[in-house]
Structure 1
Amino acid sequence: MYEGVLTKMKTEFSSPIQYYLDMGSDFINMNQLLDRRIHIKFLRFECLNCHLERPIYRQGFCKSCFFDIPQAADWIMRPELSTAHLGKEDRDLEYEKKMQLQPHIVYLANSSNVKVGVTRKNQVPTRWIDQGAHEAIEIAEVPNRYLAGITEVALKDHISDKTNWRKMLTNSVEDADLNAEKERLAPYIPEEAKPYYLENKTTETHLEFPVNQYPEKVKSLNLDKTPEYSGVLKGVKGQYLIFEDNTVFNIRANEGYVVGIDVD
């Protein structure tokens, strides 16, 4: 029996991608659990910031922390709201400078459809793995989060910025010519970001996920409604565990939940 607070699975870029669940004193290699029965039991909450036993509000944080800490500020989800490049504080300028004033990548990724996205350069290809993308390409490398954000905003007028997670999990996806899409979108990059366009970056990154069986129709496991679940693990994609009975469990959406995990 393993016991710990759920956090985003750590990954290793290989073929297939290796997944590790951090359970505090133990790391579980999820690839080694394929085709084995896993029991998951909800035990309690633990906020990832204050570590108190409080109901989780969003992103693994209790409500108090979510509205206070810089790790949950609006610019996390909406990078165009970043202000550290102006020396302007949102919640904690030192933290915001550290996170925002570093190279960011604007990219195209194909998980359920081709979408535009933004991530810190040091999160490539981790971000693509977390999204369950089977192919991706870099569009631009900019020096801060703000420039990445305004580029994404400009491009999403011409291409999606959302992933259909159900389609991604059933593997109802098709390969796309990401280079052609990148060239199509290039004219729409804002003037101040145009110098950072990666014209010569033409190689797509392809990702292989450890999935033995995709679900035909997904049903999501909700620990609030179903505090105990048992199923045979058939795959891992994005941040989802995929089980034999078509149940899927989003680890990231359940950050801050303390669980017991038993493996047959």
Structure 2
Amino acid sequence: MTYQGVLKKMKTSFEDVVQYYLDMEADFLNMNQLLDREIEMSFVKYECLNCHLDKEIYRQGFCKSCFFEIPTAGDWIMKPELSTAHLGVEDRDLEYEQQVQLQPHIVYLANSSDVKVGVTRKTQVPTRWIDQGAHEAIEIVEVPNRYLAGITEVALKDHVSDKTNWRKMLKNDIVDADLVKIKEELSQYIPDEAREYYLNGNSKETNINFPVHKYPEKVKSLNLVKSHSYKGVLKGIKGQYLIFEDNTVFNIRANEGLVVNIIV
């Protein structure tokens, strides 16, 4: 069958093995059911996730003009410490920023390639960890707004990474870590403003299993815009990556805003 739609981050369901769903507008594809089957993908055009025009995607699924204008792409998205809604100060749209920033946020440790620190809204646990390809994660603090989460992350990343080595994650070149111990060691570096929100003994490791039948030995990243089409046997899904039998990987999240045909 042939499906056409604009790529958006795959939806996930946290089960014994993570379930992945690709929204193709008229259909939802359960990607787990496509494991060990041949898939053909082809690039059709661009479609900005905001204005829906056929304009080259700049970042996060948006064309360049939308990226620098819309509130969902403000700098505070990637840098939570820049959040100002708690002060009543607008960046691009105060109503939207208050809605997103002034809600419980989690600062966490996740182990996807190595242990890293990160920030997410409480409602995005464990979705955020799944999207990063983390096989284990733990909450450190739960704070009432994004700003406090941001300054906590900034303080902690002086002592632990805030980046994921995506190639290492996809090759499953990972080692289990004692996240409880690392969390306790890092607790001394939590800023004074966030110290009362430390989850002392109130959180435990979450373990995540991904649907992967074969991990790549050497990772080859697919650029669908340049190649226009690709055909391969799907062997796994981890993070937001499709993993194919020939070691090709395709990052759905990084290709949001591409209209594609998928033949299965």
TM-score, length-normalised on structure 1? 0.99
* 2:5 equivalent to 1:7: no
Deviates more, 1:141-150 or 1:218-227: 218-227
Q: Report SS of the residue matched to 2:174.
A: coil
Number of the residue aligned with 1:260: 261
* 2:216 equivalent to 1:215: yes
Q: Structure 1: where are the runs of 5+ without partners?
A: none
Cα distance in 1 between the residues matched to 2:48 and 2:240: 19
* 2:21 equivalent to 1:20: yes
Number of the residue aligned with 2:179: 178
Cα shift at 1:113: 0.3
Aligned residue pairs total 263
- Which runs of 4 or more aligned residues in structure 1 lie more than 6 Å from their structure 2 counterparts after TM superposition? none
Residue identity opposite 1:158 in structure 2? H
TM-score, length-normalised on structure 2? 0.99
Number of the residue aligned with 1:57: 58
Cα shift at 1:225: 1.5
Q: Report SS of the residue matched to 1:224.
A: helix
Q: Report SS of the residue matched to 1:39.
A: strand
Cα shift at 1:227: 1.0
Alignment of 1:148-227 (within 5 A): 148-227=149-228
Q: Report SS of the residue matched to 1:225.
A: helix
CA-to-aligned-CA distance 1:40-67 (integer Å, 9 cap, x gap): 0000000000001111010000011000
Cα shift at 1:133: 0.1
Number of the residue aligned with 2:71: 70
Residue identity opposite 1:243 in structure 2? F
Number of the residue aligned with 2:139: 138
Cα shift at 1:248: 0.1
Residue identity opposite 1:9 in structure 2? M
CA-to-aligned-CA distance 1:9-59 (integer Å, 9 cap, x gap): 000000100000000010000000000000000000000000011110100
CA-to-aligned-CA distance 1:216-257 (integer Å, 9 cap, x gap): 010000012111000000000000000000000000000000
Residue identity opposite 1:151 in structure 2? T
Cα shift at 1:202: 3.9
Cα distance in 2 between the residues matched to 1:54 and 1:41: 18
Alignment of 1:59-138 (within 5 A): 59-138=60-139
Residue identity opposite 1:34 in structure 2? L
CA-to-aligned-CA distance 1:57-83 (integer Å, 9 cap, x gap): 100000110000011110000000000
Deviates more, 1:223-232 or 1:186-195: 223-232
Number of the residue aligned with 2:233: 232
Alignment of 1:24-43 (within 5 A): 24-43=25-44
CA-to-aligned-CA distance 1:150-177 (integer Å, 9 cap, x gap): 0000000000000000000000000000
Q: Report SS of the residue matched to 1:19.
A: strand
Cα distance in 2 between the residues matched to 1:202 and 1:80: 24
Cα distance in 2 between the residues matched to 1:52 and 1:221: 24
Cα distance in 2 between the residues matched to 1:57 and 1:171: 30
Residue identity opposite 2:181 in structure 1? A
* 2:243 equivalent to 1:242: yes
Q: Report SS of the residue matched to 2:108.
A: strand
Q: Structure 2: where are the runs of 5+ without partners?
A: none
Residue identity opposite 2:192 in structure 1? E
Cα distance in 2 between the residues matched to 1:36 and 1:258: 22
Residue identity opposite 2:222 in structure 1? L
Cα distance in 2 between the residues matched to 1:217 and 1:130: 21
Cα shift at 1:136: 0.2
